[in-house]
Amino acid sequence: MPDVKVNAGLRQALQIPWWFAGLALFCYLLMLVYPSIAGTYYAFTDWSGVGGFKYVGFANFKLVFTDGEALSSLKNTVFLAFTTTIIQNIVGLSLALALNGNSRLKALLRPVFVAPVLLAPVVVGVIWQYIYSPEGALNSLLAVLDLRDWQQPWLGLPDTALWMVAFTVVWQFAGLTMIIYLAGLQGIGPELYEAAAMDGSGRLRQFWDITVPLLAPAVTVNVLLPFIGGLKLFDQVMMMTAGGPGYSTQTAALMIYRQAFTHGAFAYSTALAVVLTIGVALAAMVQLAVLRRREHTR
Amino acid sequence: MFALSNPITGRHLLGGLACLTLASAPAVLSAQELTMSYLASYKTATDQAIAGFEAANPGIKIRASYTADGQSIRAQFTTGNAPDITLIYPGDGAPMSLIQLAKAGMLEDLSSEPWAKTIPQSFRRAVTFNGKAYVPPTTYSFITMLSNDEVMKKVGASVPVNFNELLAFCDKAKASTIPIAFGLKEQVPTLFPGYAMIASTAFVDNPSFAEDHAAGRTSFAKGYKQSMEMYLQMRDRGCFSRTAAGNSNDDALKQIANGQAALYVGVVAFLPAVIKYNPDVKITQSPFPGNVDESKVRLPIGPTITYGVSAQSKHKEAAKKFVAYIAQPDNLRKWAATVNQLVASDIESAPAPAGNATAVANLLRAKRTVEYLDRNWPNSKIQPIYMAGIQELLSNQTSVDALLKRMDDVYSQP
Amino acid sequence: MSRRVTLSASLWRVLLVGLTLVYAIPLYLVVTLSLKSDGQTARAPFAPPWQPYWANYLEAWNASAASGNASLAPALFNSALIAILSVLVLVVSGAMAGYVLARRKGRAVEWVFLLFLVGITVPQQLGIVPLFQMMRSFGLVGNPLGLVLMNTGLLAPLTIFLYTTFIRSLPTDFEEAALMDGASRLRVFWDVVMPLVRPVTATVIVIHGMHVWNDFFTPLIFLLGSGKQTLPVAIFSLVGEYSTSWGPIFAGVVIASIPVMTVFVFLQRHIVRGFSGGIR
């Protein structure tokens, strides 16, 4: 039994000095905290990146909510976040349910769906840009299947282009969703299913009563991550359509980049970024509140 | 890490030092390496010029990057990673236009270069800013309408010479072919018929439209409305194929080359590409009939992209040498021949363009021409709005009035 | 083997086959198209390349090497440099910070932890303009080391969150024993704590290593045109240069993806464990 004096000394020694966090704090404050605060400040000015600037109050924010281009960017961003999250979860959960197990075949198939997760989003964008192009694989496939009427300029029509971007993102990340659901599924003890089977529950009943509630933590992650990722979408869109045709696939992140670096409207760009940040924070808070509650009440 | 049992002797050190010095000595005498960013469609001509320049100037090497559009180059200027030599669009309007970059102090003043003394009067406005010359005029181009002779014969029609004939032609031709090949997936092709129609309407009715606009006496809503409605008429009469919105400009060129389309509207620089896709194709050039009255049809012309030196460059003298090399008449002629455009200094004598283009040549000689519109647009926001707006207009996502209003709103912004 | 949740109705089989095709075909296309000339691609896009057109690879490597932004050789080097250094610094700085926040007592600790947490959801775009201005004044634009610094700051929140929560769940016995033996706190950290937090380190290496390797937005802004671009930026420029000549483009894509795919083949299990680490 260690005596009290030694205990106190140990406790004192385990008061790790602050300098352990020095490097991390330094980089974090310099690279994220300071620029974010400065960015929020610049959003209230008319700075164009060079020269001086003056305070203009909420003028930039008013512009964000009246400018057609900005509004459509926000609309596209929200649309992409919702559609990718929903479809990705459907596909990911289906894959997890179908590929849960140790058969040779399943072990062989799983990596096929995980591989795209590791590719650079830009690379995935290039691949699907080819597939959707007028002379690309999709139209060729339709020709082979004798469905020439269905051939489209997939990325060239405002209505279809955004959906195609959504499908591309889902294609890339459904494998990640699958992995997380698989981890969740494997944490469910088989005795629960056995007990339910003995009570006479069918497969579907077991699914709803056992699987779904116990997957709640996985659901939390699988709803939060794709949604936030969807709100920040940049790489794939920049590669596939650069926001076109017109501005019909421009996302908030894309517009922020364009306004700052191609048009030099630095202040306007940061105002848009502030709006995006608030949106992301709200989405995260709402989702965490709802999903965490579900985790605990089941 | 190295075993201490083999101490490095002074002799080894000296030898090592000597090797290092010899290895790095070439770095001192070695080539200056310049970076250049240019338009991918001018790659052949530029590569040719670079080869000639490097042969004449051993000690200078140029590494060129090519892009499909200039927006990422503009971003490089903003971030301070600008290339030494860059593409520049004369005049104003585009993010990579002369006025925009010169205003922001990003271009090197080249007024003391030899070629700066001999700039033709017609192009002075497009290549200078505040009296200083920044880029040499290279060639000038015009917007032309290419017609595939075989397809026209198959349709049984002659090239339309006024707008009503054009619409009638679309009605007739759409049953058997694509009347006008159009790369609507990209933004720049929207400018080609657009400029032609605006030049033949707004600028014919009021030759000083640009000046009046700048003075606030007129607006886009007043001047450009007719041309936008004409665009809609073309769409409604089936001039463009159903898949136009998914076609790149390259696809449209392939269509006219391979006989899948009857007409194509674009800058004359695209003609060599058409011929490359189908060396046997027979093409006639005519002005785009942008007005119902043939006598009011105007040809949009403008000095084409040229080369500028970045103000941030660390190799300014070498970069200036390259620009001067391009501006030399012999080299310029070679460059112009490769891109199938007319040398700028020839504008006064207006020789006929190559190929079957008598109608175009007539307009040039009669000086029934209008400068490319974006030369007169005072900021870089208008052109993207126009281009995207036409795309939206043709896909029913916006209205003529809404687009005109957006353009007018943006005209007066800095 | 214990019973698992499996569904074997034929409907599932059809779905699975369909999805497998949707996933396998694009990957197949990338490789085959990289070995076809433009003519072959136009005529028969799905056919295997019976006569491999290796010229595409030469083109993607050499031609782009002669040019600037699309050069793949420097891109490979810079991607590797930035990824390795970033992950190294992240792991060390993050673990050390996590150690403080996990072990130290006091109100300040909670505040600092919260300060880091806030950064998890802040999008990069918010501070990108002032960050860019700052890096420019330091002369670090166009410098890969600048990117290493930025990654350390931007990816610190999640890293520190993972380390802090994990270390908090560890009993302090080993550390106390080492301290009693007279080890310094730095020693204790290196010899006792670091080995114990290996699962988190693996997760950080996988998730952040991949993120940095595939990062596009920040290198696009800071490295485009500098001659020191990373692979994603090089691919972007390659497409801009070759537009619809898919052969060289996909050859470039294959070259750029070989490192990642190689790591995946050999370290698959670790990677999957790294991703699902947050769930258990």
Asked if pLDDT for residue B47 goes beyond 50, the answer is yes
Q: Going by C-beta distance under 8 Å and a sequence separation of 6 or more, which residues neighbour residue B113? A: B133, B136, B320, B323, B324, B327
Of B63, B68, B80, the CB nearest to C136: B80
Q: What is the 3-state secondary structure (H, E, C) of A262-283?
A: CCCCHHHHHHHHHHHHHHHHHH
Of A95, A126, A185, the CB nearest to C235: A126
Of A135, A151, A262, the CB nearest to B74: A262
End-to-end CA distance of chain B: 62
Range with the poorest average pLDDT among B48-52, B228-232, B274-278: B274-278
Q: Predicted confidence band at A262 (pLDDT cuts at 50, 70, 90)?
A: confident
- Number of other residues whose CB lies within 10 A of the CB of residue B88: 27
Look at A14 and C179 and tell me if their CB atoms are within 8 Å.
yes
Report pLDDT digits (tens) over A64-107. Answer: 998 878 999 999 999 999 999 999 999 999 999 888 888 888 88
Range with the poorest average pLDDT among A42-51, B126-135, B230-239, C89-98: A42-51
Of C7, C12, C27, the CB nearest to A115: C27
The span from the CA of A274 to the CA of C129, in Å, is: 12
The span from the CA of C105 to the CA of A12, in Å, is: 10
- DSSP letter (8 states) at residue C169: T
Tokens of B110: 């080249």
For B385, which residue in chain A has the nearest alpha carbon? A246
Q: Name the stretches of chain C with pLDDT < 50.
A: 1-5, 280
Asked if pLDDT for residue B84 goes beyond 80, the answer is yes
Q: For position C226, what pLDDT does the model report?
A: 82
Spell out which residues of chain C touch residue B68, defining contact as CB-CB under 8 Å. 240-241, 243
Mean pLDDT across B39-47: 88
- Number of other residues whose CB lies within 10 A of the CB of residue C140: 17
The span from the CA of A255 to the CA of A236, in Å, is: 14
Q: Which residues of B touch C (CB under 8 A)?
A: 35-37, 40, 43, 63-69, 72-73, 75-76, 79-83, 248, 250
Every domain of chain B and the residues it spans: 31-138+304-346, 141-302+353-411
- DSSP letter (8 states) at residue B356: B
Q: Residue A245: is the preceding peptide bond cis (ω within 30°)?
A: yes
Look at C19 and A261 and tell me if their CB atoms are within 8 Å.
no
Q: For position B351, what pLDDT does the model report?
A: 62
Q: How far is B385 from chain C (nearest CA, A)?
A: 22
Spell out which residues of chain A touch residue C164, defining contact as CB-CB under 8 Å. none
Q: How far is A55 from chain B (nearest CA, A)?
A: 17
- DSSP letter (8 states) at residue B352: P
Q: How far is B401 from chain C (nearest CA, A)?
A: 34
Report pLDDT digits (tens) over B143-156. Answer: 999 999 999 999 99
E strands, C15-128, in order: none
Look at B37 and C225 and tell me if their CB atoms are within 8 Å.
yes
For C139, which residue in chain B has the nearest alpha carbon? B80
Phi, psi of C235 (to 5 degrees): -65, -45
Look at A257 and C268 and tell me if their CB atoms are within 8 Å.
no
Q: For position B324, what pLDDT does the model report?
A: 94
Secondary structure element (H or E) that encloses residue A76, with its range: helix A68-98
The span from the CA of A83 to the CA of B172, in Å, is: 43
Q: Of A111, A118, A119, which Cα lies nearest the Cα of A95?
A: A111
Of B65, B80, B81, the CB nearest to C67: B65
Select the residue from C38, C69, C133, C249 to test the B interface by mutation, using most B Cβ atoms within 10 A.
Answer: C69
Secondary structure element (H or E) that encloses residue B129, with its range: strand B128-129
Averaged pLDDT score across all residues of chain A: 87
CB A164 within 8 A of CB A125: no
In the CATH scheme, what is the code of domain B141-302+353-411? Answer: 3.40.190.10
Q: For position B352, what pLDDT does the model report?
A: 61
Select the residue from B37, B39, B66 to test the C interface by mutation, using most C Cβ atoms within 10 A.
Answer: B66
Give me the amino acid identity at C132.
F
% of chain B surpassing 70 pLDDT: 90
Look at B247 and A134 and tell me if their CB atoms are within 8 Å.
yes
In the stretch 224-253 of chain C, residues with CB closer than 8 A to chain A read 231-232, 235-236, 239, 244, 246, 249-250, 253
In the CATH scheme, what is the code of domain C68-276? Answer: 1.10.3720.10
Strand B306-309's sheet: what is its strand order? B60-67, B32-39, B85-88, B306-309
State the ipTM, two decimals: 0.86
Half-sphere exposure (Cβ direction) of C218: Cα atoms closer than 13 Å: 31
Q: How far is B158 from chain C (nearest CA, A)?
A: 33
Spell out which residues of chain B touch residue A247, defining contact as CB-CB under 8 Å. 388, 392
Tokens of B411: 């005209």
CB C228 within 8 A of CB C143: yes
Q: Going by C-beta distance under 8 Å and a sequence separation of 6 or more, which residues neighbour residue A289? A: none
For B35, which residue in chain C has the nearest alpha carbon? C68
Handedness of CA B295, B296, B299, B301 (dihedral sign): positive
Q: Predicted confidence band at B4 (pLDDT cuts at 50, 70, 90)?
A: very low
Report pLDDT digits (tens) over B254-303. Answer: 999 999 999 999 988 788 888 889 999 999 999 999 999 999 999 888 88
E strands, B229-385, in order: 261-267, 283-286, 299-303, 306-309, 342-343, 369-371
The span from the CA of A125 to the CA of A172, in Å, is: 10
Neighbours of chain A (3+ CB pairs under 8 A): B, C
Architecture label for domain B31-138+304-346: 3-Layer(aba) Sandwich (3.40)
The span from the CA of C163 to the CA of B139, in Å, is: 63
Report pLDDT digits (tens) over B109-133. Answer: 999 999 998 887 777 878 888 889 9
Look at A152 and B243 and tell me if their CB atoms are within 8 Å.
yes
Look at B251 and A157 and tell me if their CB atoms are within 8 Å.
no
Mean pLDDT across B27-42: 77
Report pLDDT digits (tens) over B347-403. Answer: 666 666 666 788 888 887 787 888 888 777 877 778 888 998 999 899 888 899 999
Neighbours of chain C (3+ CB pairs under 8 A): A, B
Look at C153 and A13 and tell me if their CB atoms are within 8 Å.
no
Range with the poorest average pLDDT among A243-247, B223-227, B236-240: A243-247
Q: Does B67 touch chain A (CB under 8 A)?
A: no
Mean pLDDT across B71-78: 87
- DSSP letter (8 states) at residue B175: T
CB A153 within 8 A of CB A161: no
Report pLDDT digits (tens) over B136-187. Answer: 999 888 899 999 999 999 999 999 999 999 999 999 999 999 999 999 888 8
Give me the amino acid identity at C65.
A
Q: Predicted confidence band at B323 (pLDDT cuts at 50, 70, 90)?
A: very high
- Triad A47, B77, A230: Cα angle to 5°: 70
CATH 1.10.3720.10 occupies which residues in chain C? 68-276
Q: Of C221, C156, C125, which Cα lies nearest the Cα of A231?
A: C125
Report pLDDT digits (tens) over A204-228. Answer: 778 888 888 888 888 988 999 899 9
Q: For position B10, what pLDDT does the model report?
A: 46
Q: For position C66, what pLDDT does the model report?
A: 60
Buried b (16+ CB within 10 A) or exposed e, C151-188: bbbbbbbbbbbbbbebbeeeeeeebbebbeeebebeeb
Of A50, A157, A247, the CB nearest to B388: A247
Report pLDDT digits (tens) over A163-200. Answer: 999 999 999 999 999 999 998 888 888 888 888 888 88
Half-sphere exposure (Cβ direction) of B275: Cα atoms closer than 13 Å: 13
Q: Predicted confidence band at B6 (pLDDT cuts at 50, 70, 90)?
A: very low
Report pLDDT digits (tens) over B330-360. Answer: 999 999 888 877 888 776 666 666 667 888 8
Identify which has the larger pLDDT, C7 or B244. B244
Q: Of C58, C234, C218, C39, which Cα lies nearest the Cα of C132?
A: C218
CB C87 within 8 A of CB C208: yes
CB A87 within 8 A of CB A172: no
- DSSP letter (8 states) at residue B158: P
Q: How far is A68 from chain B (nearest CA, A)?
A: 9
Spell out which residues of chain A touch residue C264, defining contact as CB-CB under 8 Å. 111, 114-115, 118
Look at C216 and A135 and tell me if their CB atoms are within 8 Å.
no
Look at A263 and B392 and tell me if their CB atoms are within 8 Å.
no
For B251, which residue in chain C has the nearest alpha carbon? C244
Helix axis angle, C231-242 relative to C246-276, nearest 10°?
150
Asked if pLDDT for residue A276 goes beyond 90, the answer is yes
- DSSP letter (8 states) at residue C60: I
Asked if pLDDT for residue A233 goes beyond 80, the answer is yes
Look at C125 and A193 and tell me if their CB atoms are within 8 Å.
no
pTM assigned to the model: 0.81
The span from the CA of B261 to the CA of B146, in Å, is: 10
Mean pLDDT across B65-78: 85
The span from the CA of B137 to the CA of B123, in Å, is: 7
Q: What is the 3-state secondary structure (H, E, C) of A131-167?
A: HHCCCCHHHHHHHHCCCHHHCCCCCCCHHHHHHHHHH
Q: Does B391 touch chain A (CB under 8 A)?
A: yes
The span from the CA of B66 to the CA of C242, in Å, is: 9
In the stretch 197-216 of chain C, residues with CB closer than 8 A to chain A read 210, 213-214, 216
Mean pLDDT across B1-27: 45
Q: How far is C28 from chain A (nearest CA, A)?
A: 11
Look at A263 and B245 and tell me if their CB atoms are within 8 Å.
no
Q: How far is B276 from chain C (nearest CA, A)?
A: 14
Q: Which residues of A touch B (CB under 8 A)?
A: 48-50, 68, 133-135, 151-158, 242, 244-248, 257-258, 260-264
Strand duo B60-67 + B32-39: pairing: parallel
Q: Mind listing the domains of chain A with CATH numbers?
A: 44-185+216-297 (1.10.3720.10)
CB B329 within 8 A of CB B106: no
Q: For position A151, what pLDDT does the model report?
A: 80
Q: For position B51, what pLDDT does the model report?
A: 94
Q: Give the burial class of A202: count Cβ atoms within 10 A of its Cβ; 0-12 exposed, 13-18 middle, 19 or more buried.
A: exposed
Identify which has the larger pLDDT, A245 or C116. C116
Neighbours of chain B (3+ CB pairs under 8 A): A, C
Tokens of B83: 């290339």
Q: Tell the residue number behind the tokens 């058969």, with chain if given.
A: A103
For A246, which residue in chain B has the nearest alpha carbon? B388
